[in-house]
Structure 1
Amino acid sequence: MSQIRRSSFRKSLHQQLRGLFRKFPQSIRFPFYRRMVDCDPAPDSRLELKIAESQEELEACFQILHDAYVSSGFMKPHPSGMRVTIYHALPTTTTLCAKFDGRVVGTISIIREGVFGFPMQSAFDLTQVRAKGGKIAEISALAVHPEFRRTGGAILFPLMKFMREYCAEYFDTRHLVIAVNPDRIELYEAVLYCERLQENVVDRYDFANGAPAVGATLDLRTASAVFKQGYGRRPPRKNLHRYFFELTLPNIKRPSRKYFTTNDPVMTPELLDYFFNQRTQVLPQLDDRKKSLLWSIYDQVEYRPVLPLMQGSADHGHPLRRHQRYSIRCPGTVEFDLGGQKQSFVLDVIEISLSGFQAESKISLSLEQDGWAEIDLGHNKRSRVEVRLVRHRETEAGNFYGFKLSDPDQTWRECVAALEMSLTSGDLA
């Protein structure tokens, strides 16, 4: 009983001290937060950061997340002892984990916009973020094991560094968005230079059990310059700019990819069934529209036995394309004969299928032209194909063009076949 009273007293004292500290002006509070940063440039060799991909790693991540959310009041205890959402089931979500001596001690999930959008979209307006162009990823499900929360960021900062590198270098992401408790928003603003999406606090954020939340964003395209201005002259353990943008940590295990894909799916049919049908009822509880979308994503025959059956019509306005499209980010060029002269244009390919591809061009192109495209689909995987420019779509993010292939070459066919046959990113390594 006395231990409970001491714990309650300390919690009350900390709350009072935080309340007093908030009365200081922001010009004092924010520099104070930044001086508290402690990022070890040489973490313990027993620390490993990687994509969570096995049943054991994912289950440990979901358990740590469950306990953290329950203790914070963001969810009610679940019989499974895990926090699992439908977003974790999508190939556009990647869960990272921090392991110490082989034991999972921290986790964070990165959610690219997929068929279900973002969790935050139910409460926050992302219009201004979208207007800047570039892909968005929601950072969610951040949790560190209680035994490692008082280690001065020894787990948190390496995990966040891996997250930033993964988003910028592998996940095709420009903007990060996050929903945090109002009590913690200033740490994100001061230490990570996040900007609030809106001034007002959302009183009830359903994705966190109705708890209040504040939305924030970070532009990865400008983050390096911002961090350099704030941290550039600080010593190594206080210099988040050097830590996040210049330092290479051998503790980070980066994904191995044969092709320049932008997703790292890990959900095999067995894992999907275990987490979302057996341990929880996430899939059976979906409405028919979401079930239909899930079927369109996992269209390989191996997934059919574990996907939820629909109660009504299977037609929900989402007809399947003749050829499945695959997300990719790779460089290329296209050459057209314009007035008797060959002219080449740089492309940024973002999507491919067996019959064509979609790409961004900084220079305007005219439709209904025939030419030749050279695309680097992966390391030493260059394809040269005859194409016809058939579509143009102008958006706030840029100009995107659709190309139809006359006849895919062997490299192109091998790439698409590999993407079609693979169940997880491990199949493409």
Structure 2
Amino acid sequence: MPTSSRETASRRPWRAFLASEAGAGTLLIACAVLAMAWANSPARHGYETLKKLPLAVTVGPVALAMPLADWVKHGLMSVFFLLVGLEIKRELRAGELVDPRRAALAIFAAVGGMVAPAAIYALLNAGGPGAPGWGIPMATDIAFALGVLSLLGRRVPVGLKVFLTAVAIVDDLGAVLVIALFYSGGLQAGPLLLMGIALAAALAYGTLGGGRHLLVYAVLGLVAWYGSLEGGISPSVAAVLLAFTVPMTPRAGGPHHGPSAGTERSDSPLHRLEHLLQPWVTYAILPLFALLTAGVSLDAAVPNRVTAGVGLGLLLGKPTGLLAASALAVRLGWASLPAGVNWAAMAGVGLLAGIGFTMSLFIAGLAFEGTPYLDQAKIGVLSASTLAGLSGLAVLRRATAATTAGPAGVPGR
């Protein structure tokens, strides 16, 4: 075999791994570990210098200057939220959330998995300086959760993976609503009007013009992003709203290989934009965010009620709320468990939902930016996410080994 052929063959397993959910999750873990090691090493000054590196962008009369960490949080992460919005719209229009019974189970589970962690956090921090962080343990990191689930391979029922994905999508929508309603402030009418005009133009272009040229969305998205940033609303909200203006109708003359909705929409602007953004978000934006966010000096971060609230919310509140709400939906007859999935497997998924990471760290930055509580919240997120992933993997390994074909029953019935 020629040398080039051997090299190509040897690279294929690595390329396949990096393209998998496990590979994406592993990359995030590696960046988080590197950030922690760097922030607690003799070179920690370099880490802080990198985060605070000043960067300025000037376009005509508009000038923006922020540290690198803020450009990543408010700028690049907006692309992540744009992708989240596209995934939410796809699932609502042609995915797992179209079927009423599947949607009911995912919605109940996600809401329960958001309310219980927030309640636990609030009980520990009500009336104290850490009270604003109640939204931190509500989030689920879909990349990490699916990455851990994929480690079990084919022994995981397809329905379980689909359920976790649907829960994470609803969870993401809930997180965006929480950010919009509770973590925005100091609103400015002028910039927000500019954001509204840009989003209205995007909606008109998608509805009347077909939304064929993605460059138009890039330009209008930048205008909406600037308006939200200057107007006091997290740019993540503008990004998700922009995603909802991108149509799922196929391009004229595009492929029509069958009557199914998924086939008809395979060449839609939404799918093209989603496929364009996916690798950049997975292998550049999220790893960079993890690198610049996960680094916490353990000397300065003393665990307190904020750490406990975040940790218990993710590790205890997530699985408890998810299981209780799912059982309620099934008992009411509004939903049923996926085929081949038992309640032990649901408990494992509930634990995996406690992997907050990206979303939790993002909300922590909004809640406690510039305060010592930020590092304490990060400690809670990182420690709880690690424990949730390991315990969820252990529970699912045992549950899937014992799973038999056919739908599981309702506990106690």
TM-score (norm 1): 0.26
Between Structure 1 and Structure 2, which shows a larger proportion of helix residues? 2
The higher radius of gyration belongs to: 1
Q: Which has the higher contact order (CA 8 A, sep 6+)?
A: 2
Between Structure 1 and Structure 2, which shows a larger proportion of strand residues? 1
TM-score (norm 2): 0.27
